[in-house]
Amino acid sequence: MLIEAILAVSALVLLLFQGTATLILLARLLKGPFRRPPLEAKQPHPDLLGSVSVVVPTLNEVERIAPCLEGLSQQSYEVREILVVDSHSTDGTPERVQAVAHFDPRFRLLNDGPLPSGWVGRPWALHTGFLQSSPKSRWILGIDADTQPQPGLIASIVKVAEEEGYDIVSLSPQFILKYPGEWWLQPALLMTLLYRFDSAGARESNPNTVMANGQCFLSRREVLEQLGGYESAASSFCDDVTLARYAATQGYKVGFLDGAKVIRVRMYNGFEDTWSGWGRSLDLKDASTQEQLWGDLGLLICTQGLPLLLSVVGSICLGLGYSFPSLKLALGLNLFLVLIRFALLWAIYPSYYRCSASGPASWLFWLSPLADPLAVIRIALSASQRPTQWRGRIYS
């Protein structure tokens, strides 16, 4: 009787917390069918001539920057200049950029100055590029070195920004995965974002929950000038979201759209690199209040981290003869959450680039829900720690 009473109380507590979290999750997911469709590649219009300055921050990127440089060189006359701001790389990155600049005069190699106190390397490089960019450009586009811009990317993002009145707009990419550990863990980590925030293309009215992606981040020059460049995100390890939310609180229109058809990214190599690299910034603590941070973590635990485990435990309890109503309801709720999780695999499937290089490991994508507890643990670990090392730099 004691065991049954403990199980009954535990099931009621789970129903209370998980039921509330499920309602919040469903309110977000139900926006998905009404979100803006993915961007399509566009041809530039003469009005866009020389309207964009591209800024690429780099630090020892020689092994993966070639597709980014090639993709940018394929962009059309809307690009006035491509400023590669290198933080004194020692691996041959500057030489690689200079080789491309020999054939495309739009490329210009810069070096940022010593990192000021209170700044993180990436926003400092972006800020340097912004200050050095041509005042004739109406738009500033930050692009990461590990991205693979597709033809028509810049024309499409500028057109949608101008037609729909965005002051800042960023794109979610299509991910390129290769190794088994990536295919298993990365979708689970990506899902933590989908559970906490609206999906790309959904309209977000709350400035404090706006999402952004610095891998492809477009800003009106005049807006960046009024915001002080990247100063508001100087100390942030998620400077993209920090800057976007700050802009939204100042009344500017910020958009986060699906760019899977116009930009790809190869972020990390293997399980360990994905775990330590991407997981380190996914908590978004530098752009969130403590209440929001731990509230989001609680939602993840209830709706993503526990359902598969609790479904197994609940089924075992039923098999042992414990069949009181609260246990059945708790089991039903967790099975419902597991069903949602597997259904969402189909929703994010287009966010992954599939080619012969993906190899046989890509089938592990469909088993990524089994990595959900690890993904939630990674967010919890990151939320409780501040990075001390990032892209080769040491921070106190």
User: What average pLDDT score do residues 241-263 get?
Assistant: 96
Question: Which H or E element spans position 390?
Answer: strand 389-390
The burial of 183, by beta-carbon neighbours within 10 Å (0-12 exposed, 13-18 middle, 19 or more buried), is given as: buried
DSSP state of 85: E
Contacts of 178 (CB under 8 A, 6+ apart): 266, 269, 357, 358, 359, 361
What are the pLDDT digits (tens) for 201-229? 888 778 989 999 999 999 999 999 999 99
With bands split at pLDDT 50, 70 and 90, how would you rate the model's confidence at 279? confident
What are the pLDDT digits (tens) for 38-69? 999 999 889 999 999 999 999 999 999 999 99
At residue 359, the pLDDT reads 64
User: What average pLDDT score do residues 262-289 get?
Assistant: 90
Determine phi and psi for 102, rounding to 5 degrees.
Answer: -60, -30
β-strand pairing of 107-111 with 79-86: parallel
At residue 320, the pLDDT reads 83
At residue 392, the pLDDT reads 66
CATH class of residue range 1-396? alpha beta
What are the pLDDT digits (tens) for 302-334? 999 999 999 999 889 888 877 778 888 999 999
- Among 233-247, 250-264, 349-363, the minimum mean pLDDT is found in 349-363
- Calpha distance 338→345 (Å, rounded): 11
Query: Percentage of the chain surpassing pLDDT 70?
Result: 97
- Calpha distance 113→115 (Å, rounded): 6
At residue 234, the pLDDT reads 95
Given a cut of 80, whether residue 393 has pLDDT beyond it is: no
At residue 388, the pLDDT reads 67
With bands split at pLDDT 50, 70 and 90, how would you rate the model's confidence at 389? low
Question: Which sign, positive or negative, has the C-alpha torsion 209, 305, 190, 342?
Answer: negative
At residue 318, the pLDDT reads 82
At residue 146, the pLDDT reads 95
Given a cut of 60, whether residue 357 has pLDDT beyond it is: no
At residue 6, the pLDDT reads 78
> In residues, how long is the chain?
396
Given a cut of 70, whether residue 245 has pLDDT beyond it is: yes
At residue 358, the pLDDT reads 57
At residue 98, the pLDDT reads 95
Average model confidence (pLDDT) across the chain: 92
Cβ-defined contacts of 353-361 (< 8 Å, 24+):
353/174, 353/175, 353/176, 353/177, 353/264, 357/176, 357/178, 358/177, 358/178, 358/183, 359/178, 361/177, 361/178, 361/179, 361/180, 361/182, 361/183
- Calpha distance 188→296 (Å, rounded): 16
* Contact call for residues 372 and 308 (beta carbons, < 8 A): yes
- Calpha distance 14→10 (Å, rounded): 6
What are the pLDDT digits (tens) for 93-109? 999 999 999 999 999 99
* Contact call for residues 240 and 214 (beta carbons, < 8 A): yes
Determine phi and psi for 281, rounding to 5 degrees.
Answer: -115, -5
Quote the tokens at residue 113.
């100055």
- Quick check: helix, strand or coil at residue 124? helix
Query: In what side-by-side order are the strands of the sheet with 147-149?
Result: 147-149, 263-265, 174-175
| pTM of the predicted protein model | 0.93
At residue 385, the pLDDT reads 80
Of 276, 322, 305, nearest to 373 by C-alpha is 305
Q: Which residues pair with 256 in a beta bridge?
A: 170
At residue 327, the pLDDT reads 84
User: What average pLDDT score do residues 22-33 get?
Assistant: 91
